[in-house]
Structure 1
């Protein structure tokens, strides 16, 4: 490639990384704000999370257009091609993470008596952990840091353990408080969404590792979670 073409390609890659970072930041904020809205039973805040998901969707479309243009016009090879393809896949996963945050926000109006459900206090810590995974894995993508991607993948076990603990607490609470079953079922849904966010962050970590090294991440043990259909 000529010097001009290389410069243009580098600028496009920089724009692509910037869009992924913006998406990730919005998704991370959406997780935190959805859980905060849940804890405070703040319907207006929940609505803003739901409406804000449109911006995440819009950025995903921008990433797709830019990635396709890069592949078609710049014909990237090897490392560069892996990064472009990884960005395209990561954008899809981050969009899904945004959807999980939106789904949590949609539960806020349904949990009317949340002040009397003590296990609700466990969810913010799990949400922080899942949000940190999203933040860290996108930092790893920006830095092409395969080792950091591995650490993010490893931390998914902690999110799974958190989910298992919350699942047991909530089921016990329902057994002891039968009138709370409807409300607690919504909280189980929220916990499951947070667990899935951790899973998706792990999927991104695998993509980051491959983009950075050209090698698949070694298969890692993952903590199982109780089957629950919500």
Structure 2
């Protein structure tokens, strides 16, 4: 993320505070994106050592969420922002919650990479990796959209979640086939299912961040609306 689109204020200190939050969101988003990338790579290589590092770094993601939330609360109490300034602070607070949960999904995938018998689910990982790279692209794009507060990009990413959901359903059907054909595969399949579900949730989290972009720019709360309703609301 490069440029969070924030306005200028008479108070130079207020500008500095918003810029500080911007920088913290950028840093957290970059770390979470790297966590997801590293987790997918560790899974493909069955790299348990790298997976352990990813799991350990999740503490840093959690700490960043808490710090940014505290700063948002302090700004609301001290500056009493209104209109778009308040929407910005609220959007940031909710977005960092989604980023923390994406970090949890990356940790889930890393734990799968720590399995003692990776060969047992090696033939299941191809579809999971494809789905993971899709989720990874969504995360990258939504961070870029959030940095620019780009509503058009947010709408495109919002719609991408449908494709990720379809991929999720396909992988689940494939895993069910593995279990029916070989009941001995059930423990491994269940482990992979947890990781696949985590990836599906990454898409949901990205969609939620898109909704915060729309909320900030347009002042409209589009949560829980169908895509057609969102499009009609923004016309």
Question: 1:31-42 residue pairs with structure 2 within 5 A?
Answer: 31-42=36-47
Is 1:69 the equivalent of 2:70? Answer: no
Is 1:220 the equivalent of 2:221? Answer: no
Is 1:102 the equivalent of 2:104? Answer: no
Is 1:187 the equivalent of 2:187? Answer: no
Aligned residue in 2 for 1:129:
134
Question: 1:1-230 residue pairs with structure 2 within 5 A?
Answer: 6-110=11-115, 112-114=117-119, 117-217=122-222, 219-220=226-227
State the SS of the aligned residue for 1:76: coil
Which has the higher mean CA deviation after the structures are superposed, 194-203 or 137-146?
137-146
**Alpha-carbon contact 1:110-1:186 (below 8 Å) kept:** no
State the SS of the aligned residue for 2:221: coil
Runs ≥4 residues deviating over 6 A: none
**1:29 CA drift (Å):** 1.2
Runs of 5+ in structure 1 lacking a partner?
Answer: 222-230
Shift in alpha-carbon separation, 1:4–1:146, aligned structure 2, 3 A: closer
When the two structures are superposed, what TM-score results if normalisation uses the length of structure 2? 0.87
Aligned pair count reads 219
**1:95 CA drift (Å):** 0.7
When the two structures are superposed, what TM-score results if normalisation uses the length of structure 1? 0.88
State the SS of the aligned residue for 1:117: helix
**1:4 CA drift (Å):** 8.2
Runs of 5+ in structure 2 lacking a partner?
Answer: 1-7, 229-235
